[in-house]
Amino acid sequence: QPVLAVVGRPNVGKSTLVNRILGRREAVVQDVSGVTRDRVAYDALWNGKRFTLLDTGGWEPDAKGMQAAISAQAETAMATADVILLVVDGQVGATAVDQAVARTLRRSDRPVILAATKIDDSRGEGEIAALWRLGLGEPHPVSGLHGRGSGDLLDIVLDAMPDSPRDDVDLDAGPRRVALVGKPNVGKSSLLNQLTGETRSVVDAVAGTTTDPVDSLVEIDGETWKIVDTAGLRRKVGQASGTEYYASLRTKAAIEAAEVTVLLLDASEPISEQDLRVASQVAEAGRALVLAMNKWDLVDEDRRHAMTRELERALVRFPWVERVNISARTGRAVQKLAPAMRTALENWDRRVPTGQLNQWLSDVVAAKPPPVRGGKQPKILYATQAQNRPPTFVLFTSGFLEAGYRRFLERMLRETFPLTGTPVQINVRVRE
Ligand code: GDP
């Protein structure tokens, strides 16, 4: 989601304005603290548009002076925001510091919007005309006291923002889409039969003609799911020799068409390279994943233990995947599939509030700072979740983060927020 950075001297009414934007009356409470004390990120929503509000505010008493501190704010804003809002005190007018900041911000390739606060009545509006001198275009008057003008200001700010995907939670409403994949003879058709036979409710053939259904609506555990490409399962396409290539294309297409993939493994056989490749494909496609160990009825106690160890080794890259042990033939534990799919999808949909994310980040970074590279300690400025499905996070940093440290962050992220069953992506934006 786009980032709006708010820059301004202390006491110009910035916090009041920030609170207006966030729709709060009380003063900003520091329970949602940022990574460093002088930077706080919040989730904001205006007219159905989500964005991150970065308050570069705060004041370090030991800062080298207002000039230095505020230029640091401006630099951070220019490096990380999509739109910058400069707040000046409309009653005081542009100070030397304001002018210096404006000079810096004029270099920005991002839109900069100028707000003049404390304009509580129309008399003040004449005075702010002088703010045109800052060279940032029209000064927009707002009253912190009455909130006058802040709605108009936000409309202007949002117009300047790049379009973000709207809240997509309801975008593709309808049954959740599931791909059932796995090697030939692992039991995919049996599982489909078990699921549909059990509930006697292949509700409908969705696409294609009735004689060649592509997807099936199936009721599992009281919920309707769409199983993609069931035609492939029923007709066993790709199982004759020489068609492996097409079978793998079909698997890939099914994974991409689905939101969650159920990867069937044969518990009585060693895990194959091919199985791991499919798991990677799901993660790379950014889809949720559930592992189903099928033919559990065939394996004895010893094999179960051996296989669990084998799985742990094979799946080191997917420690986040939930596993269910089932038998498509006997119907054993098949009812555990739906809860696992639901959990995976819920986490795939997850949005971590920016405040919580940055609280987490400051705790983690305080406990273990990023390793020094080239004599420099990279600083992590703040984080925001750019997207869900799958959860995608952006870290704004002052330097490159090593892959090992990024993996560490992912591990810690998964310890704090429920993300079982979904891949996550962590992107790093290094500020120039
Ligand atoms: P597909 O190629 O993945 O669709 O596999 P099928 O569903 O056709 O199953 C292949 C074979 O494995 C068939 O003979 C099934 O009866 C058998 N099978 C499937 N699931 C199980 C299971 O859970 N336990 C046992 N013992 N056999 C199974």
Nearest residue to 115 via CA among 80, 78, 95, 86: 86
Provide the domain count of the chain: 3
Q: For residue 171, is it within any domain? A: no
In tens, the pLDDT along 96-106 reads: 888 888 998 98
Question: Ligand 1: which residue has its CA nearest to atom 26?
Answer: 295
Kindly report the CATH number assigned to the domain that includes residue 370.
3.30.300.20
Q: Which of ligand 1's atoms lies nearest the C-alpha of 327?
A: 23
* C-alpha 184 to ligand 1 mean position (Å): 9
Do 385 and 393 meet the contact criterion of CB atoms below 8 Å apart? Answer: yes
pLDDT at residue number 362: 92
What torsion do the CA atoms of 292, 296, 300, 301 make, to the nearest 10 degrees? 50
* C-alpha 187 to ligand 1 mean position (Å): 4
Q: For residue 264, is it within any domain? A: yes
Question: Of all helices (H) and strands (E), which one includes residue 83?
Answer: strand 83-89
Q: In terms of domains, do 98 and 182 share one?
A: no
Question: Is 184 marked as a binding-site residue?
Answer: yes
Q: Is the Cβ atom of 230 under 6 angstroms away from ligand 1?
A: no
Q: For residue 138, is it within any domain? A: yes
Could you say which of 160, 187, 216 is where a domain stops? 160
Could you say which of 319, 348, 377 is where a domain stops? 348
Q: For residue 309, is it within any domain? A: yes
Structure tokens that stand for 224 in this block: 């309707």
Q: In terms of domains, do 340 and 205 share one?
A: yes
Residue to probe by mutation, ligand 1, list 188, 190, 229, 293, most atoms within 8 Å of CB: 190
* C-alpha 199 to ligand 1 mean position (Å): 19
pLDDT at residue number 30: 40
pLDDT per residue of the chain (432 residues) written in tens, 0 to 9:
788 888 888 778 887 788 877 775 444 434 333 333 456 777 788 777 788 888 876 544 444 566 777 777 788 788 788 899 999 988 888 888 888 889 989 888 889 999 998 887 766 666 788 888 888 988 998 886 666 777 888 888 888 887 655 444 444 568 999 999 999 899 998 998 888 764 443 444 444 344 445 788 888 888 889 898 877 676 554 455 556 766 787 888 899 999 999 999 999 999 999 999 999 999 999 999 999 999 999 999 999 999 889 999 999 889 999 999 999 999 899 999 999 999 999 999 999 998 899 999 999 999 999 998 888 888 898 898 988 999 999 998 888 898 899 999 999 999 999 999 999 999 888 875
For residue 258, give the amino acid letter.
A
In tens, the pLDDT along 279-306 reads: 999 999 999 999 999 999 999 999 999 9
Question: Ligand 1: which residue has its CA nearest to atom 14?
Answer: 185
* C-alpha 310 to ligand 1 mean position (Å): 22
pLDDT at residue number 164: 56
Q: In terms of domains, do 196 and 320 share one?
A: yes
Q: In terms of domains, do 385 and 317 share one?
A: no
Q: For residue 169, is it within any domain? A: no
Q: Is the Cβ atom of 187 under 6 angstroms away from ligand 1?
A: yes
Task: Write down the number of H helices and E strands in the chain.
Answer: 13, 16
Q: Which domain holds residue 150?
A: 3-160
Q: How far apart are CA 112 and CA 106, in angstroms?
A: 8
Q: In terms of domains, do 278 and 315 share one?
A: yes
Q: How far apart are CA 165 and CA 198, in angstroms?
A: 40
pLDDT at residue number 155: 87
Q: In terms of domains, do 344 and 359 share one?
A: no
Do 133 and 116 meet the contact criterion of CB atoms below 8 Å apart? Answer: no
Q: In terms of domains, do 25 and 136 share one?
A: yes
Q: For residue 285, is it within any domain? A: yes
Question: Is 8 marked as a binding-site residue?
Answer: yes
Q: For residue 395, is it within any domain? A: yes
Q: For residue 168, is it within any domain? A: no
pLDDT at residue number 166: 45
Query: Residue 332 contacts by C-beta under 8 Å, 6 or more apart in sequence?
Result: 296, 297, 325, 326
Q: In terms of domains, do 236 and 305 share one?
A: yes
Question: Ligand 1: which residue has its CA nearest to atom 25?
Answer: 295
pLDDT at residue number 170: 45
Q: In terms of domains, do 306 and 231 share one?
A: yes
Q: In terms of domains, do 152 and 266 share one?
A: no
Nearest residue to 304 via CA among 283, 332, 278: 332
Where would I find the H helices in 267-367?
273-285, 301-314, 337-348, 354-367
pTM: 0.70
3-state secondary structure of 257: helix
Q: In terms of domains, do 208 and 271 share one?
A: yes
* C-alpha 274 to ligand 1 mean position (Å): 18
Kindly report the CATH number assigned to the domain that includes residue 47.
3.40.50.300
Crossing angle for the helix pair 14-22 and 150-160, to the nearest 10 degrees: 80
Q: How far apart are CA 142 and CA 149, in angstroms?
A: 5
CA R_g for the chain: 27
Q: In terms of domains, do 286 and 370 share one?
A: no
Could you say which of 285, 320, 348 is where a domain stops? 348
Question: Is 64 marked as a binding-site residue?
Answer: no
Question: Is 47 marked as a binding-site residue?
Answer: no
Q: Is the Cβ atom of 332 under 6 angstroms away from ligand 1?
A: no
* C-alpha 185 to ligand 1 mean position (Å): 6
Q: Is the Cβ atom of 251 under 6 angstroms away from ligand 1?
A: no
Crossing angle for the helix pair 96-106 and 66-80, to the nearest 10 degrees: 20
Q: Please list the helix, strand and coil fractions of the chain in percent, rounded to the nearest 5, in that order.
A: 40, 20, 40
What torsion do the CA atoms of 27, 28, 29, 30 make, to the nearest 10 degrees? -150
Longest Cα separation, the chain: 86
* C-alpha 352 to ligand 1 mean position (Å): 40
pLDDT at residue number 388: 92
